[in-house]
Amino acid sequence: MTEHQPNNIPTVYNPREVEAKWYRHWEASKYFGAKVEKDKKPFCIVMPPPNVTGQLHMGHALDNTLQDILTRWRRMQGYNALWVPGTDHAGIATQAKVEEQLAKEGLSKYDLGREKFLTRVWDWKEQYGNRITTQLRRLGASCDWDRERFTMDEGCSKAVLEVFVRLFEQGLIYRDYYITNWCPHCQTTISDIEVEHQDKPGQLYYIKYPAKDNPEEYIIIATTRPETMLGDVAVAVNPEDERYLHLVGKSLILPIVGRELPVIADAYCDPTFGTGAVKMTPAHDPNDFEIGRRHGLPEVQVIDKHGKMNELAGKYQGLDRWECRKQIVRDLEAMGALVKVEDISHAVGHCYRCDTAIEPMLSKQWFVKMKPLAEPAIQAVKDGRIKFIPERFTKIYLNWMENIRDWCISRQLWWGHRIPVYYCQDCEEMVASITPVTECAKCGGKVEQDPDVLDTWFSSALWPFSTLGWPDKTPELEHFYPTSVLVTGRDIIFFWVARMIFSGLRFMEEEPFKEVFIHGLVLDAQGRKMSKSLGNGVDPLDVIESHGADSLRFMLITGNTPGNDLRFHFERLDGARNFANKLWNASRFAMMNLGDYDPAAKGSPYTLADRWILSRLQSAVTEVTDYLERYELGEAARVLYEFIWSEFCDWYIELVKPRLFGKTTPEDRVTAQHVIVQVLRETLELLHPFMPFITEEIWQKLPHQGESIMLAKWPQPEAALRDEIAEGEMAVLIEVITAMRRIRGEMNVPPGKKAEAILVALDESFRGILNRNISYLQGLANAEVTVLTELKEEPEQAASAVTRGVEIFMPLRGLIDIDKEIARLNKELKAVQADLARVEGKLNNQGFLAKAPAEVIEKEKAKAEELRVKATALQERVKMFSA
């Protein structure tokens, strides 16, 4: 048992000093490390890799706090716990950062060339890339930093090449001209799930497309994008729409351009939507593209990669797409082809990185065939081999996977995993290779590697096994795969979770994790997403500076339920800090009374308070463990908060003071010390995963065994210490003492004045409880207590209450100045009655009732009822004192 230092306890808890000290110690001592130990049950989590460009935000803080709680808990339970940290190379974002730097120097990436540009990016990564991992340390993340990975490190890159080549050789990766989402600012394709749809005001333009054979006849087309009509190649109608059947197979004339457009029939067209006829622009609309492929339509691209009209746009060439729209509308109006314009609100796709409106564009890209990969990933979830927590996210996952489209994996960037495909310049041979190819194996000609890189998510899809050494058969891969649980936000189920599942099943032939623990987003106090544009973000590092990491962690956990969003309130943060201070002060008091503590000393038998707190501790151990097993981390935190704040600090500490202060026998003091040490130590161990810093600081000052609370054994419930009788008796005492305190407070009895209390209990067992523990009643209510079977005559001027079948009478004469109290009560009553009259006047005012919102009226009614109750109570007290 390590000796404690009862005199070395600061009066005020300083999180800034304590947190830095202990994290340095933990990391230097390698407590976070995990080796392959086959005799220990593994527990493994892989961190969702934050972008190497990123800095800690509240979403990261919540996500990593949840992971840290689970990891610290399992480590204390004796699992071989490994939390693998790492960062993502963030292709688009990182390249943009470096290009911004170059622009300040008057340079572009083309001035440097690909190799020198990549050298600059690596330099940037070395300089800034560890910022977020440093910040995660401030939060207390107990990752195995010696195993930190990066999606473009040598091992992860090796895995990426292996996967690409295998999928290519299996025919699951192909290259084709296809409609994709193009970002004119980032100059690359982005996937469907990287497009953020924003509701924007817009216009719906109705345009006449005249029939070739009869210019007097026409079809009206409604479109939100007139500029794309320059790429129209057909008009489609529903095959059952009688309005247009006579025109199917005939041609219309494209206004302005004069191109003939065939009228085709396709069931995609909804006769009830708009005019029922749809212009076909296969190169600039994904739905038109699919219809065009079915009907063999040409694909005319009129917008270039910079969002400008190209040479096929005729006289509009060179115009920005938005300016072209305005000009075309003017020209349509001038020629009489514009029927009308309607103002609408519609969803417009934007790049999730730069917020530029994306442009659906036809281009030659690399794709992964998803159906063969999705099917086993769907089955794994349906079979229960992978479980979503909460279960409702299963439906969301399955719906997306069952309707999945092929994944566009090529990006027009330089930073990232370059596609390992080589093209012969002489014979057009194409080969995918893990190792670099210098010449064509077929003809010996010169080869060039594909210039594009892979989607960032391609590498992070392999994260659960690439971080453990795959494709090599490492001991870590054998021991820790599949990982135990994935902890992540609901916003990346499609981006990342689904892709890891089908990748793990394909290449490891086993699911990558058993459970997916989904949490919500951290919103501001008004329920809005935190964003730079709204200016409503809260920097976790600022919070750690002002309140401490433990307070931030505990605030994020309490009240948090799996899958649901969490609102950030500074009041709750202050509450978490108050909780930390409450724990510190109670622990400090306890430790100041342990100077002569001897674990071997023999004490007296347990008192009722001892039996009660030890029994309540067993309940806390059981409940916290059960909630953690069910991923109800918020409920586990609630149990700890209530046990520590109320039962331990507010009640047991107060109940035990007389024995610690030596007002009883030395043996009683010894027993009190033993109990307080056991309860406080085990409570700290339960709380440690949630608030690691303060618990380590206090635990180290307590008598303990071992080097760190991190390595302490997780508390186990002891059946012998469960005591329902003690809990029942203490419940009676707590309610009676609370009622006595309430009387003192309501009657303004000075705290230092000792009162008289008469307790009447008809029930013999209740009288026994009260009489056996009269010292508790007298000490905690500061009253001289008498317990009676019945009351022959009610005492004069006594306040009373009833609780648990016990009547409580507290005579007030001598405790307070009756005349002054009557005057004070009358003054307060007069003010309450004035407020009530004012509120009732409002409610009787027909003008107010007619104009005020319903919620305002209800609030006034509730206020009136509250004032009536208060007035009645004051009148009763005046009556009692005047008797």
Distance CA 497, CA 483 (A): 13
Q: What are the backbone dihedrals phi and psi of residue 811, each rounded to the nearest 5 degrees, phi first?
A: -60, 135
Distance CA 312, CA 305 (A): 14
Written as one string, the DSSP assignment of 34-55 is: ----TTS-EEEEE----BTT--
| Chain position carrying tokens 């610690």 | 660
Distance CA 29, CA 853 (A): 63
| Chain position carrying tokens 């810093």 | 693
- Which ranges in 205-346 belong to alpha helices (H)? 286-295, 321-334
What's the angle, vertex CA 441, arms to CA 435 and CA 443, rounded to 5?
150
Q: Cis omega (within 30 of 0) on the bond before 48?
A: no
* Cα–Cα distances in angstroms (integers) from residue 443 to residues 17, 420, 436, in the given order: 68, 19, 17
Query: Is 208 annotated as ligand-binding?
Result: no
Written as one string, the DSSP assignment of 547-566 is: H-HHHHHHHHHTT--TT--E
Q: Which helix (H) or strand (E) holds 597?
A: none
* 707, 696 contact by CB (below 8 A): no
Q: 220: helix, coil or strand?
A: strand
Q: Which amino acid is at 764?
A: E
Distance CA 649, CA 642 (A): 10
List own/partner pairs for 605-608 with CB under 8 A and 24 or more apart.
605/671, 606/671, 606/675, 607/659, 607/668, 607/671, 608/726, 608/729, 608/730, 608/733, 608/772, 608/773, 608/776
Nearest to 510 by CA among 377, 340, 644, 356: 377
* Cα–Cα distances in angstroms (integers) from residue 80 to residues 74, 467, 516, 627, 716, in the given order: 8, 17, 20, 21, 19
The β-bridge relationship of strands 783-788 and 755-761 is parallel
* 402, 502 contact by CB (below 8 A): no
| Chain position carrying tokens 């499609």 | 494
- HEC readout, 121-137: HHHHHHHHCCHHHHHHH
- DSSP-assigned beta bridge partners for residue 519: 489
Distance CA 650, CA 291 (A): 72
Q: Which residues contact 353 (CB under 8 A, 6 or more apart)?
A: 92, 93, 96, 183, 186, 190, 194
* Cα–Cα distances in angstroms (integers) from residue 677 to residues 161, 683, 704, 723, in the given order: 57, 10, 9, 19
Residue 362 DSSP symbol: E
* 431, 413 contact by CB (below 8 A): no
Distance CA 670, CA 659 (A): 9
Cα distance between the two ends of the chain: 63
| Other Cβ atoms within 10 Å of 122 Cβ, number | 14
* Tokens representing residue 599 in the block: 């674990």
Task: Detail the residues annotated as belonging to a binding site for ATP.
Answer: 532
Task: Detail the residues annotated as belonging to a binding site.
Answer: 532
